């Protein structure tokens, strides 16, 4: 996460695509226990990044809806 903006360092789409790749590798198997654990940890990290992006988008939408509701009241 970047310090100044509070947004993750990689774009949502990149994190999502890498997460899909990690899940596919875990599902197909053929990796050692150490590799599987490393993939799992990376997957957890990527899922967290995606969640940060989604939470940020949700917050922005809620703020826009509040602003729109406030402007309708005046």
| pLDDT confidence of residue 6 | 66
Q: Is 7 domain-assigned?
A: no
Q: How many CB atoms lie within 10 A of CB 55?
A: 10
For 56, the 3-state DSSP assignment is helix
Domain that holds residue 62: 12-73
Rounded to whole angstroms, the Cα distance separating 31 from 69 reads: 53
Q: Is 69 domain-assigned?
A: yes
Domain count, the chain: 1
pTM of the model: 0.79
Q: Is 4 domain-assigned?
A: no
Rounded to whole angstroms, the Cα distance separating 27 from 16 reads: 16
Question: What is the tens place of the pLDDT at every residue in 7-49?
Answer: 788 999 999 999 999 999 999 999 999 999 999 999 999 999 9
Q: Is 1 domain-assigned?
A: no
Rounded to whole angstroms, the Cα distance separating 70 from 46 reads: 36
Q: Is 24 domain-assigned?
A: yes
Q: How many CB atoms lie within 10 A of CB 46?
A: 22
Q: Is 2 domain-assigned?
A: no
Q: Is 30 domain-assigned?
A: yes
């Amino acid at each position: 996460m970047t310090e100044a903006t509070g947004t993750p360092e990689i774009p949502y789409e990149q994190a999502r695509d890498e997460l899909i790749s990690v899940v596919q590798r875990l599902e197909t198997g053929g990796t050692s226990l150490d590799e599987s654990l490393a993939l799992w940890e990376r997957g957890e990290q990527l899922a967290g990044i995606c969640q940060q992006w989604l939470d940020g988008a949700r917050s922005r939408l809620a703020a826009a809806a509040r602003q729109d509701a406030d402007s309708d009241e005046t």
